[in-house]
Amino acid sequence: MRRNEKYWFTLPALTVIGIIVVFPLTYNIYMGLHSWFVAGGASPRWVGLNNYVKIMKDPRFWNSMRVTFLFSIGALVLETLLGTSLALFLNREFRGKNLVKLLFLFPIASTPVAVSLIWGMMYNYDLGIINIAIQALGFEPQLWLASPKMVIPSLIFADAWQWTPLILLIVLANLESLPTDPFESAKVDGAHIFQVIRYITLPMIQPAIVAAAMIRSIDAIKTFDMIYVMTQGGPDIASENLNLYIFQTGFSYFRMGAASSLAIILFTIVLAVNVLLAITRKSGDLS
């Protein structure tokens, strides 16, 4: 009996995980194999992999994949570069350092809906402060959220404003915990600051950077609230990512079977990206 105590102690946690993770995932896979038009009052009808076959032939699905890829990669790269650069800049003692770190918490603490509403007003063509500022500099105002070419970069910039501080704080915490011996040795050897960053600092903080990227990649791929509030996928479907397409399929067109299939595809993408980043982090630890 005592030999099996460890299993009894973990049973409650495993039960909770099974209820909130395993069951919904299993049921979603099951529903993805059915056709179910909720508004018609019909019962789910088994169609096998037919939902996935139709999805692969749907141009709107491939557009949502393109938007998801562009937004996620753009946001992740920009936030990682800015967050890491700011962390390296702030990794020194100066007056008011704790206050600066506190100020960087405000964007993260704000709700995405509130941030989206604020940035939506700032991007307004007639009254937005961004167009007012660029007009004062002699440039033409832009249709930031109404132009198919501008909408994704505009969303990326708004997302970066809110979530760059997350990467900054994770990397900065790792920087502050690094041993000082390698840096003192490099200083004695006459290494330049950029050489220290390139050959000592960055390799040592690589696991922290990858961990921060893993956290942000999950959120970036499944972003919904910011895009829905600011553009609702528009103009037309120029900013409709996969998560928003799932929402439209399930709750606007009431095709729950197809929406479940799309959700499984989204889950697979998120899982694959994080496995890839985990392998990258492990290889960095081994090196």
Q: How far from the centroid of its chain's Cα atoms is residue 34's Cα? A: 30
Query: Three-state SS for 47?
Result: coil
**What pLDDT, on the 0 to 100 scale, is given for residue 246?**
97
**What pLDDT, on the 0 to 100 scale, is given for residue 234?**
92
CB contact at 8 A, 243 and 223: yes
**Rounded distance between C-alpha atoms, residue 151 and residue 142, angstroms:** 10
Q: Burial of 221 by CB count in 10 Å (0-12 exposed, 13-18 middle, 19+ buried)? A: buried
**What pLDDT, on the 0 to 100 scale, is given for residue 101?**
83
**What pLDDT, on the 0 to 100 scale, is given for residue 201?**
92
Can you name the CATH fold of 17-49+61-286?
MetI-like fold (1.10.3720)
**What pLDDT, on the 0 to 100 scale, is given for residue 1?**
53
* Residue ranges covered by each domain of the chain: 17-49+61-286
Each residue's pLDDT tens digit in the chain (287 positions)?
Answer: 566 777 788 888 888 888 888 888 999 999 999 999 887 778 899 999 999 999 999 999 999 999 999 999 999 999 999 999 999 988 888 888 888 888 888 999 899 999 999 999 999 999 999 999 999 999 999 999 999 999 999 999 999 999 999 999 999 999 989 988 888 888 888 888 888 888 889 999 988 998 898 889 989 999 999 999 999 999 999 999 999 999 999 999 999 999 999 999 999 999 998 888 778 777 655 55
- Write the DSSP symbol of residue 92: S
Query: Three-state SS for 37?
Result: strand
**Burial annotation 242-268 (CB, 10 A radius, 16+ → b, else e):** bbbbbbbbbeeeebbbbbbbbbbbbee
